[in-house]
A = this chain, B = another copy of it.
Amino acid sequence: MSNIYIFFFLDSCMKYMRDGSVIVARLLKGEEFIESVKSLCEKEDFSSGRVQAIGAVKRAVLGYFDTEEKKYVHFECKGELASCMGNIAKKGDDIVVHVHAVVSDREGTCKGGHIVQAETSATVEVFIDVVPGLKRALDAETGLYLLDL
């Protein structure tokens, strides 16, 4: 019953700079947001931090968590990445990039939710603060991997 989304992305080739614990990256046209941030974690050897971004996306899948059915409902949108914020944390050997966004269209109408996937249009400008120690663990009640602090 769930929709299937097929994306073809560029290999990660975003540009970035680092100044201490702050990383600034620019994603190139076609790069996917979540995978690009994960790729940056590998390149810069960190797995935990805070994320903020603006830019534009030509195709994004956002999610809404249905707390009754304990699953995500997905929908698509595109346009300006009007707001984008969240965090990076370890989940076992994997890295979870948990980011929420507001995407706005030509009339300014907004769609908001959890970023499942988002493909860069003209540009996405990302700020990351490396903050050590964030990890996630399964929460039995919600079925979600929540921050384990």
Which residues of A are in contact with B by a Cβ distance under 8 Å?
Answer: 15-17, 19, 22, 24-26, 29, 50, 52, 54, 56, 58, 62, 64-67, 73, 75, 77, 79-87, 98-114, 121-123, 125, 127, 129, 131-134, 139, 141-142, 144, 146-149
Contacts and interface: CB of A to CB of B under 8 A. Distances in A.
Determine the main DSSP class of A at the interface with B.
strand
Contacts of A105: 64
**Number of identical protomers:** 3
A127 B87 contact: yes
Nearest to A127: B50
A77 to B, nearest CB: 6
Given A104-B113, A125-B98, A26 B146 contact: yes
Contact of A144 (B25, B66, B114, B123): B123
Nearest to A15: B149
A110 B108 CA distance: 8
Contacts of A77: 108
Given A24-B131, A24-B147, A110-B111, 10 more contacts: A52-B85, A62-B108, A80-B112, A84-B85, A102-B104, A104-B111, A104-B112, A107-B111, A122-B146, A123-B142
